[in-house]
Amino acid sequence: MAFAPLEEIEPPIVLTIRGNEYTLPVLMLDQIRALNERLTGGATPADLAKLLLGDELLGKLAADGASLGFVERVILVALAEAKFGRDYAEAVWADPSRILAFVNAAKVAAEAAAGATSGAHEVPTADVSPDQGPVS
């Protein structure tokens, strides 16, 4: 029995707004490593957007006049897929707030690792479960 190509089993995520389709790029291992480094190293939102979406998709979104809210949602879906997989990305598409606890926890963890905090923050753990989303 031959194995089907992975892109047939799990095709790239395609997001649609107003009839326009946007295919998220599949991140390669070196891009995932770069993403992890940037998440803990204080990357700018523009750095993360470029890494997660690439110049081509960002250009298409701009050319189509996509709103900032839609672009942010696309970035969060791409981040969710890269960190937690497709099921979580689908949950973030439906409710982008699900990933905010993860992003905030990553910032606090980076500060703690760098010694930037003096006990003022504790690193949250239960609030960042990709299965449960943020805890209210």
What is the per-residue pLDDT across 54-93, written as a single tens digit (0 to 9) for each?
999 999 999 999 999 999 999 999 999 998 889 989 999 9
For the entire predicted model, the pTM comes to 0.71
pLDDT of 131 higher than 90? no
Mean confidence (pLDDT) of the chain: 79
For residue 126, what pLDDT band results from cuts at 50, 70 and 90? Answer: very low
The span from the CA of 132 to the CA of 49, in Å, is 25
- H or E stretch at 84: helix 68-84
Can you give the pLDDT at residue 110?
A: 64
The dihedral formed by the CA atoms of 46, 51, 57 and 59, expressed in degrees to the nearest 10? 40
Strand, coil or helix: 93? helix
Per-position DSSP letters for 40-81, written without gaps between them: HHT--HHHHHHHHHHHHHHHHHHHTT--HHHHHHHHHHHHHH
Residue 107 has pLDDT above 70, yes or no: no
| Per-domain residue ranges of the chain | 12-128
- The helix, strand and coil proportions of the chain, stated in percent and rounded to the nearest 5, come to 60, 5, 35
